[in-house]
Structure 1
């Protein structure tokens, strides 16, 4: 059984969806171990052994590629690992693999960080900073435009094949309404978004751990995520 250390966030949901898409079932083939990032679970020494960057998700697979346990952090690396382990959602052709990794990196290096900043300044920042809100809303619109153009001639992000690129991108766009977007402006993206969202495994994946997450963060939780606690140096337990 694979242990997934996670929380109900876009990056966490990527792995939840991937597990379910691969035919693994929650509490039968994999476990979701909650890391409450509002309470500071991500800073505990035991978790830091698995994820030294104190971020979710992370996994522990007792049956690694060499027959020994392996632990991984960073959602993109985990998706690539699972795709190779299970032989699914990563094209067989060299060209297809690189196209998929290209769009996976697009999500990891651009879409995720920029939409994350958009969320922060719109929903969580203690002061409303007009410049920051405008800057990240405009960047979000640009990125949605990139996706819309890509999907004009493609059923999925990488041609006609559903891949880890789709799995990585979808959770970050679920809150498009909170990002200042109007899907009427992105019809090709809207078609893809609704199609991916209708997949049973996706619907199961995005529900994992959601009952544990409070609808709004209190000041203490915000301090854990955005305040000085985030920047303290930590040592791993021996």
Structure 2
């Protein structure tokens, strides 16, 4: 059985839970991190004081996108497109997602986890501008293909699916991205997404 350690209001945990659903394997998740703190047992598995960590049998792994790659290779090869170059193009979007996460972080934290009276408007506006610019890059790709993974839903769609959910939920002026909206309507219908689409906290 797959065991996922991490609180579900973490974007990185959402990615891994979504991927676990896609594998069809049995899995269980334990809350840890954030308000739940870190136990010595957890820190022995993951000394970074971060989530998630995946455990399967006597194997443990941290770093969310490394976990996604492992889950796809071990239990859901259909999540990878066929061919080395197609796989590399999909893999590229998984690394690109970290740039988007950096751009969105201030906007998310300020608008969700900071009281309105204490928010830093300049940080929010900078985050809005940076995420809109990046979304336009993604929009160009999705104008040419239905999914970030290529012709079918796959591994590259999970990380940005989790972050796009937050982007659409945040209350700010968003770039005009009809192809992303079409893509998001498709990926958000998947059971894995439905499981992790909790209110922002």
TM-score of the pair, normalised by structure 1: 0.76
**Contact map agreement 2:2 2:27 (CA 8 A) in 1:** yes
**Contact map agreement 2:80 2:149 (CA 8 A) in 1:** no
- Pairing 1:20–2:9 present: no
3-state secondary structure, aligned to 1:59: strand
CA deviation map 1:182-226 (0-9, x unaligned): 47x1100000001111123322x316xx5xx9x75xxxxxxxxxx
Q: Of the candidates 145, 152, 170, which is equivalent to residue 154 of structure 1?
A: 145
**Contact map agreement 1:21 1:201 (CA 8 A) in 2:** yes
In the superposition, relative to structure 1, how do residues 181 and 98 fare at CA in structure 2: closer, same or farther (>3 Å)?
farther
Once the two structures are TM-superposed, the CA of residue 35 in structure 1 deviates from its matched residue by 1.2
Q: Which residue of 2 aligns with 1:5?
A: 5
CA deviation map 1:77-110 (0-9, x unaligned): 1001111112231223110111111100001x21
Matches within 5 A, 1:129-168: 129-168=120-159
Matches within 5 A, 1:67-216: 69-86=58-75, 87-107=77-97, 109-125=98-114, 127-175=118-166, 176-178=168-170, 180-182=172-174, 185-203=176-194, 205-206=195-196
3-state secondary structure, aligned to 1:88: helix
**Contact map agreement 2:145 2:151 (CA 8 A) in 1:** yes
Write the distance in 1 (CA, Å) between the matches of 2:7 and 2:165.
Answer: 16
In the superposition, relative to structure 1, how do residues 200 and 177 fare at CA in structure 2: closer, same or farther (>3 Å)?
closer
Q: Of the candidates 38, 43, 49, which is equivalent to residue 35 of structure 2?
A: 38
**Contact map agreement 1:4 1:58 (CA 8 A) in 2:** yes
**Contact map agreement 2:105 2:127 (CA 8 A) in 1:** no
Write the distance in 2 (CA, Å) between the matches of 1:200 and 1:39.
Answer: 26
Q: Extract structure 1 runs of 4+ deviating beyond 6 A.
A: none
RMSD: 2.0
TM-score of the pair, normalised by structure 2: 0.89
Counting matched residue pairs gives 196
3-state secondary structure, aligned to 2:5: strand
CA deviation map 1:161-196 (0-9, x unaligned): 22211011101111223162447x110000000111
Q: Which residue of 1 aligns with 2:53?
A: 58
Once the two structures are TM-superposed, the CA of residue 36 in structure 1 deviates from its matched residue by 4.8
- The more displaced of 88-97 and 76-85 is 88-97
CA radius of gyration, larger in: 1
